[in-house]
Amino acid sequence: MLDDEPPDFRIEEVSPELALSGAIRLLQANRLDDAERIFSVLLENYPDIPEILHFYGILAHRRGRDDLAVESIEKAIAIAPTYADAYNNLGNIYNKAGKPEKAVDAYRRAIELNPGNVAAHNNLGTVLKDLERFEEAAEQFAKAIELMPDNAELYHNFGNIFRKQGKFGEAAQAYRRAINLRPYRSDDYENLCHVLYLQGLVEEALPTIRQWLEHDPTNPLALHRLHSYAGTDVPARASDDYVRMTFDSFADSFDYVLKGLDYRAPGLVKEAVAALYDRDRVDLEVLDAGCGTGLCGEFLRPYARRLTGVDLSVKMLEKAHARRQYDDLIESELTAFIGRHTDRFDLIVSADTLVYFGDLSAVFERVGRALRRGGYFIFTVERNDERPSEGYKINLHGRYSHTEDYLRRELESAGLSLRRGEQQMLRYEAGVPVEGFLIVAARS
C-alpha cells in the first residue's frame, strides 16, 4: 500500500533500484508530481541506467510531453539495445502521437527481441488494423492468442479485424469466445449482435441479447436491440441513453464511416435550404436539431445570424465545436430543447436524426411553436411502405421508418404545411440502399 505522502528518503540512503521501485508505484497510482520528483533525483545521480530512462519516458508521455518521452526511451535503448519492453512502450508513444509507421517499427523490434511478448503482438495488430493492413493485423492477433489463449481482449480484437474484412462468421466466433471468457463486457455482445444482423441471423442473435441482459439488465443498447429484433414492446422512440451511448462511442469515426455509406442526408438538406434562401442572407435564427459532428454547420452558417446546434452526445458536440461554425452548442434531447422556445427560429433542420423517433407528434408540435411565422422545418426520415397501423415501425437496424401519410397527418396537426416531400435514397445499410423522405414544411 502507498502512504498518503510520497516516500521520504534521501537518494544517497537507498539503492537506485529501491528508489525506482517507489517512483514506478507512484506512477502506477497516477501520482505524477510525486513520481517526477523522484525521477528527477534519480536522473541527476544515475543518468545512464536504462530502466530509469525508460520509466521516465513513460512519465513524460503521461504528462503529454511526447518529444521528451521519445528522447528518454531512445536513450535507454541506445544504452541497452535489447530492451524489448522499451521498444514496446516507444511504439505506444509513437502510436498515440499519430506516427503509426514508427510505432510499427518499434513493435516489430520488440517482437524480434522477445517473440513471446503478447502485448507487443497485440499492440502491433492494433496499429496495423488502424492502417487498414488487415491481413498483417490478423496474423499478430492470432500469434498473441496462441501465446495467451485465455485472454478475452485478444479475441475481441481478433473479431474486430474479421469484421473489418467482412468475415462476419469468423468475427462472430471470436466475439463468442470473448464472451465465454468475459461474460460481463457489453462491447462483445453488441459486436456479436451486429455481425449476426449483417449475416441476416437475427433470430440467432436473440439468445445473445437475453444473455447480455442477464448480466446487464438495464443496458440501453441491449434493450434497444431486443425491441428492434423481436419487434415487441417497441418504445415510441429510442431512449436518451441509447442515443447518447451509441453516438458517444461512434463520434471519433462518425464522419469517416458515413463517407463509406454514401451518406446523403446533409447534402439533401443543404440543397433544400439553398432552394429557399439567398445565400447572401445572413439574418436567420437557425437550429440544427441533432447536429451530431456538425456536418450541416458549414452550409448553414452563411444564412445564420445565429446558429445553434443541439445534441444528446457530448462527444459529438465536441466534434461539432471543432468545426467552429456554431454560436451555441447545447447538450440536450432535441424535443425538450425545442419545447423551451416559442416563435424563436426562422429555420430548423434535422438531418437523419428523427429516424430515432417513431412517434413524431411531440416533435412536430414543438417545432410548430418554436418556428416564427413563415419559418421552415427541413428534415429527413426513412420511408416505410408497409403501412403499419401506427404509421411507423422500428427496423432491424434500430432506426424507425415512417409512411408518407403519417408524416402529412402529423405535420398538419402541428400547424405545419407540407411544401415539399420527395422520396430520396439516404444511405446504404449493409450494402442495401435505404430509402427515405426529404421534407420541407412551413409554419402556416
Distance of CA 125 to the CA centre of its chain: 20
pLDDT tens figures, 33-78: 999 999 999 999 999 999 999 999 999 999 999 999 999 999 999 9
What's the angle, vertex CA 236, arms to CA 365 and CA 431, rounded to 5? 105
pLDDT score at 1: 38
pLDDT score at 232: 86
pLDDT at 136 over 90: yes
pLDDT score at 5: 46
* Percentage with pLDDT > 70 across the chain: 95
C-beta separation of 296 from 349 below 8 A: yes
Give the range among 255-264, 293-302, 355-364, 373-382 with minimum mean pLDDT.
Answer: 255-264
pLDDT tens figures, 225-242: 999 999 888 999 999 999
pLDDT at 382 over 80: yes
Give mean pLDDT, residues 112-118. Answer: 97
pLDDT at 7 over 90: no
C-beta separation of 279 from 300 below 8 A: no
Give all domains of the chain, ordered by start, each with its CATH number. 11-211 (1.25.40.10), 248-443 (3.40.50.150)
| C-alpha span between 215 and 196 (Å, rounded) | 20
Give mean pLDDT, residues 202-207. Answer: 95
pLDDT at 279 over 90: no
Give mean pLDDT, residues 273-286. Answer: 88
Give mean pLDDT, residues 240-265. Answer: 82
pLDDT at 8 over 60: no
Q: Cell 539495445 sits at which residue?
A: 81
Burial of 55 (0-12, 13-18, 19+ CB in 10 A): buried
pLDDT at 81 over 90: yes
Joined together, the cell numbers standing for residue 59 give 512519465
Query: Which amino acid type is present at position 251?
Result: A
| C-alpha span between 109 and 131 (Å, rounded) | 18
Choice between 383 and 254, residue whose per-residue pLDDT is larger: 383
pLDDT at 13 over 70: no
pLDDT tens figures, 180-200: 999 999 999 999 999 999 999
| C-alpha span between 417 and 403 (Å, rounded) | 17
The overall average pLDDT reported for the chain is 93
pLDDT tens figures, 386-425: 989 999 999 999 999 999 999 999 999 999 999 999 999 9
C-alpha distances out from residue 411 to 226, 243, 374, 404, 416, Å = 30, 24, 15, 11, 5
pLDDT score at 443: 94
| C-alpha span between 246 and 78 (Å, rounded) | 45
Give mean pLDDT, residues 95-100. Answer: 92
| C-alpha span between 73 and 96 (Å, rounded) | 15
Q: Is the pTM of this model over 0.85?
A: no
- Report the half-sphere exposure of 234 (CA within 13 A, side-chain side): 20
Burial of 10 (0-12, 13-18, 19+ CB in 10 A): exposed
pLDDT at 2 over 50: no
pLDDT score at 415: 96
**Could you tell me the end-to-end alpha-carbon distance of the chain, in angstroms, rounded to an integer?**
70
pLDDT score at 110: 97
